[in-house]
Amino acid sequence: MDDRRLPSEPRAGRRRRRGPVQVVGRRRLLVLAAASAIALLLPTRARASVELNTLLVAPNEGELTVEFAVQVSLPRAVEEALQRGVPIYFTAQATLWRSRWYWRDERIARATRRWRVAYQPLTGSWRVALGGLSQNHATLAEAMAAVTRASQWPLAELSRLDPDKRYTVDFSWRLDTSQLPGPMSIGLPGANEFALGIERTVRLD
pLDDT digits (tens, 9 = 90+) for 19-49: 443 333 444 433 333 333 323 233 333 456 8
Which of 9 and 88 is assigned the larger pLDDT?
Answer: 88
Kindly report the number of other CB atoms within 10 A of residue 15's CB atom.
9
Residue 198: pLDDT over 70: yes
Angstrom distance (rounded) from CA 202 to CA 200 = 7
- Measured over the CA atoms of residue 103, residue 163, residue 66 and residue 152, the dihedral's sign is positive
CB 121 within 8 A of CB 85: yes
pLDDT of 39: 30
- pLDDT for 159 beyond 60: yes
**Residue 128: is it exposed, middle or buried by C-beta count within 10 angstroms (0-12/13-18/19+)?**
buried
Instruction: Sort 107 into a burial class: Cβ within 10 Å, 0-12 / 13-18 / 19+.
Output: exposed
Q: How many CB atoms lie under 10 A from the CB of residue 73?
A: 13
User: Average pLDDT, stretch 61-79?
Assistant: 94
The mean predicted confidence, pLDDT, of the chain is 79
